[in-house]
C-alpha cells in the first residue's frame, strides 16, 4: 500500500492568525499565569487519554478506528488540539480556546460537505464520495499546522496514524483536498479576530472608589483587557447578553454574599467542608480544558455517531470561546472588586453589615481580573447547555479526573451536566475568589450563550422527500 503524502496543507497564507502569541509577557509572568490566570493549569502534563478513560462505560478507540460512523476521530483530535495548545503556551492566552473551536468547525464543515446533515459554518462546498474519517482528520490537522507550525512533525504523525486506517484511492484523495479546503476557510475567517492581545493590559488603570477592581497580589496588572472586543464565533457581539449591574454595596444581598465567601472561602476556613475543598481544587483548571474532556468522555460512553459528535464538539467549543468574550465584556464593563479586596476593605463599603478583615486571604489564589461575573461559571453553564441540547437530555452520567485535583480526590462523578455546571460555579466561592452573585450571574449568562449558539448555528438541515 502506498503512503498518501501529508504535505497538502494550503492554509499557510493565513497561518499568522495563530502564530502570534503574547510575546510581550516576561518569562516569569508566563510561569505565574500558567497556574493562575485562567484557572490553574500548571503541571497539566497528564495523559488526556488517561483522564478520559475514567468514564464508566468508555470503549477503546482501537476497535473502531477508521469506520465511517464512529466518533473516535473527533474525540482523538480534541485530545490532539489540547496537547498542541499545552505545548504552545499552556493555555495562558485565549488562543487554545479559539483553536479548539476552529479545529472542530473545520471537521464539522468537512463532514457536512460529504453528507449534508447540518448547516456548515465557514466552508460551504460539497465533496460527495470523499472518505469522512480522512476528511475530518485532514481538516483538523491542517488547522493545527496553520496555527502551530512549529509542531508540524508531531501533527503529521497524528494524521498519518488516522490515514493509515483509510484505504488509498479516490475517496481518500478527495478527503485530503476537502480537509485542506475546510481548514483554510475557518483559518481565513478568524484572521485578526481580536484573540491576540496584550495580556498585561498596559493601559488599564484601577479605580479608587469602593467596589472598583484593584490588583490582587501577587499581580500588579489586569489580564487581557482588550479581549473584551474579540469577535465571537456565534454571538452577534461581545455585549449581546451583557449582565445587569452587581448588587449595591449597601444591600443585604451584597452583605450575605460577602459573609459567605469570607467564611467558606477563607484560607484555613473551618466552615468549608472537606469535600468543598476538594472540588474547589478539582474545578480550578481552565474550563476550556475540562469541558472538552467532559464532551470526550460522554461522547464515547454514549457512542455518538460521527456527524452528531462533530457538530456537538464544534458547538461546545464555540460556546466556550464566546463565553469568555461575553464574560470579559461584562467584567470590564462593571469593573467589580474581588473578595480579597472587598473583605480587607469592608469598612469602606458603606454597609454596616459587613465587617472588615484586613488580613483575610482566599483559599486559592485569585486570577488577575475582575470578579463580576464569574467567567468560569459562564463557560461551565454555556458548555452544559450545549451538551444537554446536543444529547437531548441533561441526564448523562460520567466520571472524570482533573488536572488540578488533589490526590485524595482525583475523580468526581456526576449524574447530569447541570450538576457539574453547578458544582463548577460553586467551587469559585469555596476557593474564595468569587462572590455568590457573580457565579449565579455567570451561570445565567452562560446558559444564554449556549442556547443562542445551538439555536442559530450548525442547525439540522430539512431535507425534501
205 HSE (CA, 13 A, CB side): 3
pLDDT in tens, 415-440: 999 999 999 999 999 999 999 999 99
Helix 306-334 × helix 375-391 angle, to 10°: 150
Burial of 316 (0-12, 13-18, 19+ CB in 10 A): buried
Per DSSP, the three-state class of 412 is strand
Per DSSP, the three-state class of 157 is helix
Nearest of 173, 105, 100, 174 to residue 139 by alpha carbon: 105
CB-based contact 418:216 (threshold 8 Å) = no
343 CB contacts (<8 Å, ≥6 apart)? 258, 261, 262, 356, 357, 360
pLDDT in tens, 95-105: 999 999 999 99
**Furthest-apart CA atoms within the chain: distance in Å:** 79
Query: What is d(CA 390, CA 394) in angstroms, rounded to the nearest whole number?
Result: 9
For the chain, give every domain's residue range: 225-456
**b/e per residue 155-184 (b: at least 16 CB within 10 A):** bbebbeebbebbeeeebbebbbebbbbbbb
pLDDT in tens, 390-419: 999 999 999 999 999 999 999 999 999 999
**What pLDDT shows up at residue 69?**
72
* Phi-psi sector, 169: left (phi>0), alpha (psi -120 to 50), beta: left
Query: 382 vs 59, 398, 399, CA distance in Å?
Result: 27, 18, 20
364 CB contacts (<8 Å, ≥6 apart)? 40, 280, 281, 284, 431, 432, 433
Cell numbers for 22, please give them. 503574547
Q: How many residues does the chain have?
A: 465
Segments of the chain scoring below 50 in pLDDT: 1-47, 50-66, 464-465
**What pLDDT shows up at residue 67?**
58
Residue tagged 452583605 (cell numbers)? 255
**What pLDDT shows up at residue 326?**
98
> Which of the following CATH numbers is that of domain 225-456: 1.10.606.20, 1.10.10.10, 3.40.640.10, 3.40.50.720?
1.10.606.20
Per DSSP, the three-state class of 144 is helix
Per DSSP, the three-state class of 241 is coil
Per DSSP, the three-state class of 169 is coil
pLDDT in tens, 168-203: 999 999 999 999 999 999 999 999 999 999 999 999
Continuous segment of H or E residues that includes residue 44: none
Q: DSSP secondary structure string, 84-130?
A: HHHHHHTT-SSHHHHHHHHHHHHHHHHHHHHS--B--SS-----TT-
Amino acid at each position: 500500500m502506498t503512503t498518501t503524502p501529508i504535505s497538502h496543507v494550503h492554509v499557510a497564507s493565513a497561518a499568522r492568525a495563530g502564530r502570534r502569541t503574547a510575546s510581550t509577557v516576561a518569562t516569569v509572568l508566563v510561569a505565574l499565569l500558567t497556574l493562575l490566570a485562567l484557572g490553574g493549569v500548571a503541571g497539566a502534563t497528564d495523559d488526556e487519554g488517561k483522564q478520559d478513560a475514567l468514564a464508566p462505560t468508555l470503549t477503546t478507540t482501537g476497535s473502531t478506528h477508521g469506520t465511517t460512523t464512529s466518533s473516535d476521530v473527533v474525540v482523538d483530535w480534541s485530545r490532539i488540539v489540547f496537547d498542541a495548545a499545552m505545548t504552545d503556551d499552556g493555555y495562558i492566552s485565549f488562543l487554545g480556546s479559539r483553536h479548539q473551536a476552529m479545529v472542530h468547525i473545520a471537521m464539522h464543515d468537512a463532514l457536512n460537505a460529504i453528507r449534508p446533515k447540518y448547516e456548515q459554518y465557514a466552508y460551504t462546498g460539497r465533496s460527495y464520495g470523499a472518505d469522512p474519517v480522512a476528511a475530518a482528520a485532514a481538516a483538523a490537522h491542517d488547522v493545527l499546522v496553520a496555527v502551530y507550525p512549529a509542531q508540524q512533525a508531531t501533527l503529521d504523525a497524528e494524521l498519518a496514524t488516522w490515514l493509515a486506517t483509510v484505504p488509498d484511492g479516490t475517496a481518500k484523495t478527495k478527503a485530503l483536498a476537502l480537509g485542506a479546503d475546510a481548514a483554510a476557510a475557518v483559518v481565513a475567517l478568524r484572521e485578526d479576530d481580536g484573540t491576540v492581545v496584550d495580556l498585561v493590559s498596559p493601559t488599564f488603570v484601577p479605580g479608587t472608589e469602593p467596589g472598583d477592581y484593584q490588583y490582587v497580589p501577587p499581580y500588579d496588572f489586569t489580564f487581557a483587557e482588550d479581549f473584551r472586543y474579540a469577535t465571537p464565533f456565534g454571538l452577534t457581539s461581545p455585549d449581546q447578553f451583557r449582565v445587569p449591574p452587581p448588587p449595591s454595596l449597601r444591600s443585604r444581598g451584597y452583605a450575605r454574599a460577602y459573609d459567605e465567601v469570607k467564611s467558606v472561602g477563607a484560607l484555613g476556613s473551618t466552615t468549608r467542608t472537606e469535600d468543598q475543598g476538594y472540588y474547589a481544587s478539582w474545578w480550578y483548571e481552565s474550563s476550556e480544558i475540562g469541558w472538552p474532556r467532559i464532551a470526550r468522555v460522554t461522547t464515547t460512553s454514549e457512542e455518538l455517531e460521527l456527524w452528531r459528535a462533530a457538530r456537538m464538539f464544534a458547538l461546545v467549543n464555540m460556546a466556550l470561546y464566546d463565553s469568555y468574550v461575553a464574560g470579559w465584556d461584562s467584567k470590564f464593563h462593571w469593573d467589580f472588586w474581588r473578595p480579597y479586596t472587598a473583605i480587607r476593605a469592608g469598612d469602606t463599603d458603606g454597609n454596616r453589615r459587613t465587617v472588615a478583615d484586613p488580613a483575610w486571604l482566599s483559599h486559592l489564589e485569585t486570577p488577575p481580573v475582575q470578579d463580576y461575573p464569574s467567567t468560569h461559571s459562564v463557560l461551565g453553564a454555556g458548555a452544559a447547555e450545549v451538551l444537554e441540547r446536543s444529547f437531548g437530555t441533561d441526564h448523562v452520567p460520567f466520571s472524570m479526573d482533573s488536572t488540578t485535583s488533589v490526590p485524595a480526590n482525583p475523580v468526581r462523578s456526576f449524574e447530569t451536566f447541570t450538576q457539574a455546571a453547578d458544582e463548577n460555579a460553586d467551587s469559585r466561592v469555596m476557593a474564595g475568589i468569587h462572590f455568590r452573585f457573580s457565579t449565579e450571574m455567570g451561570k445565567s449568562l452562560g446558559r444564554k450563550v449556549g442556547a443562542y449558539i445551538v439555536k442559530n448555528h450548525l442547525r439540522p438541515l430539512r431535507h425534501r422527500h
